[in-house]
Amino acid sequence: MELKNDILLRTLRGEATERKPIWLMRQAGRILPEYRATRERAKNFIGLVTNPELAAEVTVQPVDILGVDAAIIFSDILVIPEAMGLPYQMIESKGPYFPQTIHTAEDVARMQVVEAEVSLKYVVDAIKITKQMLAGRVPLIGFAGAPWTIFSYMVEGSGSKTFSKAKAMLYQNPDLAYALLEKITLSTIDYLKAQIRAGADVVQLFDSWAGILSPEAYSTFATPFIQKICEAITEVPMIVFAKGAFFAMEDLGKLPCTALGLDWNMSPATVRAQVGKDKILQGNLDPCMLYAPDDVLVQGVKNMLHAFGDRHIVNLGHGLYPDIDANKVKLMIQTVLEN
């Protein structure tokens, strides 16, 4: 089906476009009352993620309500460890929690390499339903967590300021860490390919906890596994977003991915100089800018547009926060459409 709005895909192909495309991380979420109403029907977050019809519904809502240039499938990066054999819970106001964690070689041996068409069929089905609902209006983005970020949750058991348990394994037992990272990598490749077969037009890899590693640790335990995924995914454009990894942008720029996401601490000019003129860049407005008065927000968006120049996908430097006013999001989007 030919897309009515393909500006994101044209940008990813390096074509000149009439304006810049925009989509937002966590655009389907609690800023929208429509999302909250759908979530009530699902009872809880995991219930929403695992219900293909409801997941598709909230995926499409930002396209209808906000006017973004792409949908991103509503899911969670932690569906991968669950499918591997490590179930998680989502604790309200606290985040994800794993009752069991990975400590030993026996623990790693129990983890299955994912066959996404079977164990993550609910995501595959959600993508198929979403594609039907979108009816070619905009492209659909699929996604997964990067291996280091998934590893960090599987070993730590929850979010953390330090991820000291996860990092300790890297230094105490690197062979065990490699074994788990390899299983996560193979699982992620299978999962992304299943999303693409179901209809994802673009995929993004989220390395949410990249910034807690040292440059040396990142180049040893993160970048090589991201590279394997990038090399395996050849069917559609891939975006790599490594939050906090300002120290790794030169290396990430050498990956066979189409685009790199920047957080709000990264300078577009600096990253462009590091990665060269051909890589597409995405980002990087500070989500907290959306709390600003309207005139400050509009100027902040214009400053970002100017700082990136061309080959730019407009986005935030991380996801939308739940208490952000949807009207501020609409103002950001309107500013992009007019500039």
Given 30, 125, 137, 178, which residue is catalytic? 30
Given 19, 39, 137, 197, which residue is catalytic? 39
Domain boundary assignment for the chain: 7-338
Given 76, 207, 251, 263, which residue is catalytic? 76
Given 6, 35, 69, 153, which residue is catalytic? 153
Active-site residue 137, yes or no?
A: no
Active-site residue 171, yes or no?
A: no
Query: Which pLDDT tens digit goes with each residue over 133-190?
Result: 999 999 999 999 999 999 999 999 999 999 999 999 999 999 999 999 999 999 999 9
Active-site residue 311, yes or no?
A: no
Given 26, 191, 251, 263, which residue is catalytic? 26
State the pTM of this model. Answer: 0.97
Query: Which pLDDT tens digit goes with each residue over 16-66?
Result: 999 999 999 999 999 999 999 999 999 899 999 999 999 999 999 999 999
Question: What 3 state SS string does the chain have?
Answer: CCCCCCHHHHHHCCCCCCCCCECCCCCCCCCCHHHHHHHHHHCCHHHHHCCHHHHHHHHHHHHHHCCCCCEECCCCCCHHHHHHCCCCEEECCCEEECCCCCCCHHHHHHCCCCCHHHHCHHHHHHHHHHHHHHCCCCCEEEEEECHHHHHHHHHHCECCCCCHHHHHHHHHCHHHHHHHHHHHHHHHHHHHHHHHHHCCCEEEEEECCHHHCCHHHHHHHCHHHHHHHHHHCCCCCEEEEECCCHHHHHHHCCCCCCEEECCCCCCHHHHHHHHCCCCEEEEEECHHHHHCCHHHHHHHHHHHHHHHCCCEEEEECCCCCCCCCHHHHHHHHHHHHHC
Class (C level, CATH) for 7-338? alpha beta
